Amino acid sequence: MSSNALTIPGTQIQARPWVDQLHQWLTTVDHKRLGILYILSALLFLAIGGVEALIIRIQLMHSHNNFVSPEVFNRMFTMHGTTMIFFVAMPILFGFANYLVPLMIGARDMAFPRLNAFSFWLSFMGGLLLYFSFLGGSGLYGAGNAPDVGWWAYAPLGSRAFSPGHSSDYWTLALLVSGLGSIGTAINIIATVLCMRCPGMKLSRMPLLAWLNLVMAGMVLIAITPLSAAQIMLLIDRYLGGHFFDTQAGGSAVLWMHFFWIFGHPEVYILVIPAFAFLSEIIPVFSRKPIFGYPVMVAATVAIGLVSTSVWAHHMFSIGMNSYANSFFAITTMAVGIPTGIKIFNWIGTMWGGKIRLKVPMLFCIGFLFQFLIAGLTGIMQAAVPFDWQLTLSYFVVAHFHYVIVGGILFAIFGAFYYWYPKMTGRMLSESLGKWHFWFFLIGFHLTFDVMHIPGLLGMPRRIYTYEPGRGWDTLNLIITIGAFIQAIAILVFVANLIISYFRGAEAGNDPWDAWTLEWSTSSPPPPYNFATVPTVASRRPLWDLKHPEDPDSHYE
């Protein structure tokens, strides 16, 4: 490990043979190593899901393109969506939560270290299971290999009549297995936050990152459960002669939609709340001010968590619900914009009057603010139900949710990488490569996803492997594809930065950003036990109190 780790007599770590090191990584129950494993596995799947996205974009570059067959295209968008949500976004956020929550609350590990390892391996194996479908999915029928039913697998398309062979089973089982992993992690985060805080760290002094991950974990319990139940029901339908979703035998396709989206919409917030958490840590440090309105930020997060469990049917405005149901889900959807808006205002309030340092983590956070604002506003458009009857299932929606997930969540994740990489490795990421990464990604992102709204408004549905010429979609799609490749270049710069900086980056020291939360009080990377002595805190910014004994926060709280 790095030379600046605290040296405690008798714990000096020698260089070990690689088999030994591998064994240590595979059997580890240390929250930091598991966090890094989560992140690395997510990066692996990010590369795979990214290649799938590029295949989709090449195929759609112009009308009547024959780059891939319709069957392959349908597999690509199904695998892209499933991979990015379940095996990239969730694991990477769980990884950061795992790594950071115990450090930020002054704990020595998660509450259940072995459950933690079990959960990670479940999630990871779920991903491998999904990709094993390319080999094992054909079954006896010579049917397609990888799942091709879309990442919602709407009934009855997922039933055996329309999806023979085993491709959908791999999808079902992969989600079931990784879902169990997610539930394990959620329980662990909740228990850790509630029970493992260091002396003095009341809930009201907890860093927002821990608060937001607590809310996120609660939502995982609410959201993943119906998804897992639905997957089991689907398996019963497919193999035990059940008829839950079998419309030919009186089953209900709409039931599946409800099950899926009562998971699917909270899922969006499960992903975005940890992104909010990154912003709530990074923006104050780079604005040199405490977060504006801490209690309101907590309340807004809890409000988002509660309201977001009653908005799911806004994914289903086109299924013919009656006007009362449509109106209900319109108002709840618009209402969730209120606490979200409060958050954006509070981040701006934090920057206001500060001394903003435009380092790479902050650049990504500013990108987030700008793009998440637009994503929220296009979301409001779709909450206006009749407008959504035009927008839903079109490329406008695809642009909207990529604005949320890429323009919002992924930008925040990149910010988190640049901010916490020094803590995880002891080395700084290169600032200049980071700027190249930021600008390339920003330009590629806007080329792709700004333009993508327009074919939607011009009537282009999603999930089509080709389209007719003369609809005015060709040039727009070409621009979108070019943007996708620019984003791919940015990702390569990012990966190069991760690798080069690991070996050549500047030494980080304990606290490279002059930050205020507990993880910066220990060495980089932290020793296995995190803190030599368990810290005691008196305010929300314990390191501020240490650095400014003349004016500590504890005087005001």
Partner 1 sequence: MALRMKSSLDCGWQIVLLLFWSARSLWAVQPGGSTAPGTNIFSPASTPAKSIVDLSVFVLVITGIIFVVVCTLLVYSIAKFRERAVDAGREPPQVYGSTQIELAWTIIPILIVVVLFLATARVIHAIEDVPVSVGGLEVTAIGHQYWWEFRYPKLGIVTANELHIPVSDPNHPTPTFLQLLSVDTDHSFWVPELAGKTDLIPNHPNRMWMDPQRTGVFLGQCAQYCGTQHAKMLLRVSVDSPEEFAAWIRSQQQPAAQEAGVNAGKRVFETNACMNCHTVAGTAANGRFGPDLTHLMSRVTIAAGAAENTHNNLRLWIQDPSAIKPGSLMPAMRLSDADLDAVVSYMETLR
Q: Footprint of partner 1 on residues 246-305 (CB under 8 A)?
A: 247-248, 250-254, 287-290, 292-296
- Asked whether position 204 contacts partner 1 by CB under 8 A, the answer is no
Q: How many CA atoms within 13 Å lie on the side-chain side of 195? A: 10
Q: Is the peptide bond before 525 cis (omega within 30 degrees of 0)?
A: yes
- Asked whether position 508 contacts partner 1 by CB under 8 A, the answer is no
Total chain residues near partner 1 (CB under 8 A): 105
One of 74, 481, 510, 522 touching partner 1 (CB under 8 A): 74
One of 65, 310, 390, 554 touching partner 1 (CB under 8 A): 390
Of 172-180, 185-193, 266-274, 547-555, which part binds partner 1 (CB under 8 A)? Answer: 547-555
3-class DSSP state for residue 494?
helix
Measured from the CB atom, the residue of 95 and 367 that comes closer to partner 1 is 367
Q: Under rule CB under 8 A, which residues in 402-441 are in contact with partner 1?
A: 435, 439
Task: Tell me phi and psi for residue 533, to 5 degrees.
Answer: -125, 140
Give every CB contact of residue 475 below 8 A, 6+ residues apart in sequence. none
Measured from the CB atom, the residue of 241 and 295 that comes closer to partner 1 is 295
- Asked whether position 308 contacts partner 1 by CB under 8 A, the answer is no
- Asked whether position 478 contacts partner 1 by CB under 8 A, the answer is no
- Asked whether position 164 contacts partner 1 by CB under 8 A, the answer is no
One of 54, 115, 222, 381 touching partner 1 (CB under 8 A): 381
Least Cβ distance, residue 317 to partner 1 (angstroms): 9
Of 184-192, 417-425, 459-467, 488-496, which part binds partner 1 (CB under 8 A)? Answer: 459-467
Least Cβ distance, residue 121 to partner 1 (angstroms): 33
Measured from the CB atom, the residue of 109 and 474 that comes closer to partner 1 is 474
Q: Which two tokens stand for residue 541?
A: 């910014």
- Asked whether position 337 contacts partner 1 by CB under 8 A, the answer is yes
Look up tokens 């959620």; give the residue.
Answer: 186
- Asked whether position 67 contacts partner 1 by CB under 8 A, the answer is no
- Region class of 62: left (phi > 0), else alpha (psi between -120 and 50), else beta: beta
- Asked whether position 549 contacts partner 1 by CB under 8 A, the answer is no
One of 92, 374, 413, 508 touching partner 1 (CB under 8 A): 374
Give every CB contact of residue 196 below 8 A, 6+ residues apart in sequence. 102, 105, 107, 110, 111
- Asked whether position 389 contacts partner 1 by CB under 8 A, the answer is yes
One of 93, 272, 383, 490 touching partner 1 (CB under 8 A): 383
One of 323, 503, 504, 550 touching partner 1 (CB under 8 A): 323
One of 326, 425, 481, 510 touching partner 1 (CB under 8 A): 326
Rounded CA Rg of the chain: 23
Dihedral sign, Cα of residue 440, residue 446, residue 448, residue 451: negative
CA separation, residue 537 to residues 104, 198, 365 (Å): 11, 8, 28
Look up tokens 């917030």; give the residue.
Answer: 269
Hey, what's the torsion of the CAs at 17, 20, 25, 31, to 10 degrees? -100
Give the separation between CA 198 and CA 209, rounded to whole angstroms: 16
Give the separation between CA 127 and CA 109, rounded to whole angstroms: 26
One of 451, 490, 493, 518 touching partner 1 (CB under 8 A): 451
One of 2, 7, 11, 318 touching partner 1 (CB under 8 A): 318
- Asked whether position 490 contacts partner 1 by CB under 8 A, the answer is no
- Asked whether position 70 contacts partner 1 by CB under 8 A, the answer is yes
- Asked whether position 119 contacts partner 1 by CB under 8 A, the answer is no
One of 462, 502, 528, 554 touching partner 1 (CB under 8 A): 462
Measured from the CB atom, the residue of 22 and 299 that comes closer to partner 1 is 299
Measured from the CB atom, the residue of 222 and 356 that comes closer to partner 1 is 356
Query: Cα 2 vs. chain centroid, distance in angstroms?
Result: 29
One of 450, 489, 495, 511 touching partner 1 (CB under 8 A): 450
Burial code of 301-330, b = ≥16 C-beta within 10 A, e = fewer?
bbbbbebbbbbbbbbbbeeebeeeebebbb
Give the separation between CA 36 and CA 91, rounded to whole angstroms: 10
Dihedral sign, Cα of residue 252, residue 254, residue 259, residue 264: positive
Query: Cα 59 vs. chain centroid, distance in angstroms?
Result: 27
* 347, 393 contact by CB (below 8 A): no
Q: Under rule CB under 8 A, which residues in 123-152 are in contact with partner 1?
A: 148, 150
Give the separation between CA 165 and CA 129, rounded to whole angstroms: 16
- Asked whether position 69 contacts partner 1 by CB under 8 A, the answer is yes
- Asked whether position 384 contacts partner 1 by CB under 8 A, the answer is yes
